[in-house]
């Protein structure tokens, strides 16, 4: 197994997690030293991390056949045993609910301790008792209630929960919006939990923040600039994105593109008013040509504004053509293979990001699409041991060793032990309930390794197009036929006449 990254590439060498406490007491379970033993069981002294792992391991005991807590030594044949079968005399049953787990407080488990804390925190006579009960039940439903206990220690969280339960803050999206400045991330986390558990209707987080972003952008602008920008932002972009936003289709991409177009439009109209005293209605073609010729290529984003201005009759004099990129980044095929070997066998990154990076390098998947993949896209055939993944119109085979890596990730996904529960449909669950991992998180981690994301995707797509016709590649990888042919032309592959040849062949058939 490779432990070193490809030559010339920078690995992520940071060690995550809290460092283990040094000491002279040797744990008889893991063999490492600690400051003191957490417990003494039949096999000897057990350190704190081993004790925590043991008291969170549930399954079927191989000796008695009962499904319960398995704190016994994991190295035994058949796996760990339950406490009686392992000779552990401690009774792990919660004195209140009967669940077997580590005692969090005075003989009760963490879930019961969390319920006590929420009962004490929330008003004794809430405005809506049913809502307060459902809110408590939603927070206590976390697989790992210890994380919710830590989360609610914040004074901002406590004030927010008390305000919602007392009725001061309506249990609506508008009510939570009032706490955006004071509670910040706590309010967004609570919103995600409430949506996930059905206490609030779905609301796209990107669309919600986009509306506030527009108002913040317009506020400092002079009226001559703000009026046309407001029409462009709200009547074109916001209305269009609202119509397309669904629980299964995030508004992240459209909002990101709209923000860039609105920002560049503001820059241009502000310059036009400050430097020449002209507005969008009196703007000339020379003004636009001067602006585009004296700045970066991002200024081309004002094209959509003038397309809309021409349609509504605000300005019919200005015409801006489509912008085409002059370069197409790519990486050498040898570098792509080196990164594939590292992600499949190396230790530069954790499992989820190795899987995400392999989907980029092997299947030419944009990371925005990778982040939004669902678990039902992966099909593991227990009978044959084969694995396939659906990225386009039909499943694509997953070769080894990636099949093993993907299966391992599928059954060990992170971020499933908080308020979201284990029912997340996402292949890459996020830290907030009901949401997948943010694409930028994956991008930042892979860029930190030194991977050229666009170059890697283009090279991977070129490799597929060199072996198969663009329509076949498009259907397998989830691209449109037009995009596949454009990439084939850019890569110099002889598939440009594929459609004509296919049509001629079909015409000759009897």
pTM of the model: 0.63
Under DSSP, the state recorded for 321 is P
* pLDDT for position 4: 40
Omega before 161 cis (within 30°)? no
User: Among 82-96, 146-160, 409-423, which stretch is predicted with the lowest mean pLDDT?
Assistant: 409-423
For 41, the 3-state DSSP assignment is strand
- pLDDT tens readout for residues 223-238: 999 999 999 999 999 9
Q: In terms of pLDDT, which residue wins out, 492 or 70?
A: 70
44 pLDDT band, cuts 50/70/90, is: very high
Closest by Cα among 261, 316, 236 to 283: 316
In angstroms, the CA 367 to CA 385 distance is 27
* pLDDT for position 493: 59
For 78, the 3-state DSSP assignment is coil
* pLDDT for position 324: 66
Q: Name the phi and psi angles at 281, rounded to 5.
A: -75, -30
509 pLDDT band, cuts 50/70/90, is: very low
- pLDDT tens readout for residues 255-312: 999 999 999 999 999 999 999 999 999 999 999 999 999 999 899 999 999 999 999 9
Closest by Cα among 183, 179, 176 to 199: 176
Mean of per-residue pLDDT scores for the chain:
85
- pLDDT tens readout for residues 308-319: 999 999 888 888
Alpha helices in 8-91 (DSSP H): 48-54, 83-86
Q: In terms of pLDDT, which residue wins out, 174 or 433?
A: 174
- Topology classification of domain 333-500: hpI Integrase; Chain A (1.10.443)
Domain ranges of the chain: 1-92, 114-196, 205-312, 333-500
* pLDDT for position 501: 43
495 pLDDT band, cuts 50/70/90, is: low
**Mean pLDDT, residues 76-84 taken together:** 91
* pLDDT for position 56: 87
* pLDDT for position 72: 93
pLDDT at 358 over 50: yes
* pLDDT for position 417: 65
In angstroms, the CA 319 to CA 327 distance is 24
User: Among 96-105, 140-149, 243-252, 437-446, which stretch is predicted with the lowest mean pLDDT?
Assistant: 243-252
User: Among 12-21, 34-43, 461-470, which stretch is predicted with the lowest mean pLDDT?
Assistant: 12-21
User: Among 171-180, 371-380, 499-508, which stretch is predicted with the lowest mean pLDDT?
Assistant: 499-508
The residue count of the chain comes to: 510
| Burial grade of 246 (CB within 10 A; 0-12, 13-18, 19 or more) | exposed
Taking 3-state DSSP, the helix, strand and coil percentages for the chain, each rounded to the nearest 5, stand at: 50, 5, 45
* 309 within 8 A of 315, measured Cβ to Cβ: yes
pLDDT at 498 over 70: no
**Mean pLDDT, residues 118-122 taken together:** 84
Q: What percent of the chain has pLDDT over 90?
A: 46
**Mean pLDDT, residues 133-157 taken together:** 84
């Amino acid at each position: 197994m490779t432990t070193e990254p490809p030559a010339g590439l920078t690995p992520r060498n940071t060690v995550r997690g809290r460092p283990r406490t040094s000491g002279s007491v040797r744990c008889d379970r893991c063999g490492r030293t600690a400051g003191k033993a957490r417990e003494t069981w039949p096999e000897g002294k057990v350190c704190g991390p081993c004790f925590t792992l043991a008291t969170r391991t549930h399954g079927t005991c191989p000796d008695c056949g009962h499904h319960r807590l398995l704190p016994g030594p994991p190295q035994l044949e058949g796996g760990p045993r339950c406490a009686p079968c392992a000779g552990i005399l401690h009774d792990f049953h919660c004195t209140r609910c009967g669940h077997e787990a580590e005692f969090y407080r005075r003989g009760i488990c963490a879930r019961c301790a969390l319920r006590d804390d929420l009962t004490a925190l929330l008003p004794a006579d809430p405005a809506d008792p049913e809502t307060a009960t459902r809110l408590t039940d939603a927070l206590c439903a976390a697989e790992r209630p210890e994380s919710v206990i830590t989360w609610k220690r914040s004074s901002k969280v406590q004030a927010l929960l008390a305000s919602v339960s007392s009725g001061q803050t309506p249990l609506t999206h508008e009510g939570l919006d009032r706490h955006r400045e004071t509670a910040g991330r706590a309010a967004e986390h609570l919103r995600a939990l409430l949506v996930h558990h059905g206490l609030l209707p779905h609301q796209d987080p990107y669309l919600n923040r986009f509306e506030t972003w527009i108002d913040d952008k317009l506020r400092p602008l002079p009226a001559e600039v703000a009026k046309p920008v407001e029409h462009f932002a709200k009547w074109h972009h916001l209305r269009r994105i609202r119509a397309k936003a669904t629980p299964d289709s995030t508004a992240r991409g459209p909002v990101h593109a709209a923000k860039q177009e609105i920002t560049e439009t503001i820059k241009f109209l502000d310059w036009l008013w400050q430097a020449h005293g002209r507005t969008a209605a009196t703007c000339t073609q020379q003004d636009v040509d001067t602006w585009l010729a004296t700045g970066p290529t991002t200024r081309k984003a004002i094209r959509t504004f003038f397309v809309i201005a021409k349609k509504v009759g605000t300005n019919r004099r200005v015409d801006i053509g489509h912008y085409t990129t002059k370069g197409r980044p790519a990486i050498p095929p040898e570098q792509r293979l080196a990164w594939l070997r590292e992600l499949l066998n190396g230790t530069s990154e954790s499992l989820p990001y190795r899987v995400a990076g392999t989907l980029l390098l092997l299947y030419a998947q944009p990371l925005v699409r990778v982040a939004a993949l669902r678990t039902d896209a992966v099909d593991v055939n227990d009978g044959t041991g084969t694995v396939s993944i659906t990225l386009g119109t039909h499943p694509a085979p997953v070769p080894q060793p990636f099949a093993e890596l993907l299966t391992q990730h599928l059954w060990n996904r992170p971020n499933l032990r908080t308020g979201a529960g284990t029912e997340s449909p996402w292949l890459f669950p996020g830290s907030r309930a009901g949401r997948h991992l943010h694409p930028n998180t994956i991008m930042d981690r892979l860029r930190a390794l030194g991977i050229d994301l666009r170059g890697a995707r283009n090279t991977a797509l070129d490799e597929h197009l060199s072996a198969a016709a663009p329509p076949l590649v498009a259907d397998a990888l989830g691209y449109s036929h037009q995009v596949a042919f454009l990439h084939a032309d850019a890569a110099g592959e002889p598939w440009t006449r594929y459609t004509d040849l296919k049509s001629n062949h079909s015409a000759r058939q009897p």
